[in-house]
Chain A
Amino acid sequence: GDSVTQMEGPVTLSEEAFLTINCTYTATGYPSLFWYVQYPGEGLQLLLKATKADDKGSNKGFEATYRKETTSFHLEKGSVQVSDSAVYFCALSDGGATNKLIFGTGTLLAVQP
């Protein structure tokens, strides 16, 4: 079945460092891809998404490009802030009418001042 694999954390960075969180997927069709973020004590919220190959999703300085040839959707940010400390989840949807998502295991990011 479809699945998502993301790098294990925690990822610890200093403020203003460059961030990459790797995400790869396995899917039989042409999925859409998402990054969700969970701040401490809160539910998940959508960070960005891409619906087809070569699409780039972006939001709040974060970017991810849908790479069909490498089945990847890596999350990047050029300069992280302490406020970016959170758990980041990569997810895919097969586009079915019920809008089901399959999530990766999550990556904890800790940004130190």
Chain B
Amino acid sequence: DVKVTQSSRYLVKRTGEKVFLECVQDMDHENMFWYRQDPGLGLRLIYFSYDVKMKEKGDIPEGYSVSREKKERFSLILESASTNQTSMYLCASSTAGVLNTQYFGPGTRLTVL
């Protein structure tokens, strides 16, 4: 079975802190994604990566950056956390190519105080 794991299920940080959210997949997938999930807004794509060291902005990249130094790991970085970044963050991965299924991790619920 494909497994996507996220480093924390729950995280509480203070405004202005630098926050790292880690995602690891064990299926040698080329593509990895970071979404945030908010009530009434569904899932919105923050960043995605289609190869090591390659990244592209999604729909809401402001206030976030990403890092992909190894194929299995994709990190989301909040350079200076703000209260409006309180949300559920979901990581996903898929093989390259058209229409391949995205596999999701369990999510990290981040609260910024």
Contacts and interface: CB of A to CB of B under 8 A. Distances in A.
A101 B102 contact: yes
Interface in B1-29: 4
What size tier do the contact residues of chain A reach?
20 to 34
A78 interface: no
B106 A46 contact: no
A97 B42 contact: no
A44 B35 CA distance: 11
Contacts of A42: 106-107
A99 B43 contact: no
A56 B41 CA distance: 27
A24 interface: no
A43 B42 contact: no
B105 A43 contact: yes
A45 interface: yes
Given A42-B106, A95-B99, A97-B98, A103 B48 contact: no
Interface string A23-40: 000000000100010000
A97 B96 contact: yes
A51 B99 contact: yes
Given A51-B99, A101-B102, A105-B40, A43 B94 contact: no
A95 B99 CA distance: 6
A49 B99 contact: yes
16 contacts: A4-B42, A32-B99, A43-B107, A44-B104, A97-B96, A97-B98, A98-B48, A98-B56, A99-B31, A99-B94, A99-B97, A100-B33, A103-B35, A103-B42, A103-B43, A105-B42
Interface of A: 4, 32, 36, 41-46, 49, 51, 89, 93, 95-101, 103-106
Interface of B: 4, 31, 33, 35, 40-45, 48, 50, 56, 58, 90, 92, 94, 96-107
Pick the 5 closest A-B CB pairs, nearest first: A43-B104, A105-B42, A103-B43, A44-B104, A103-B42
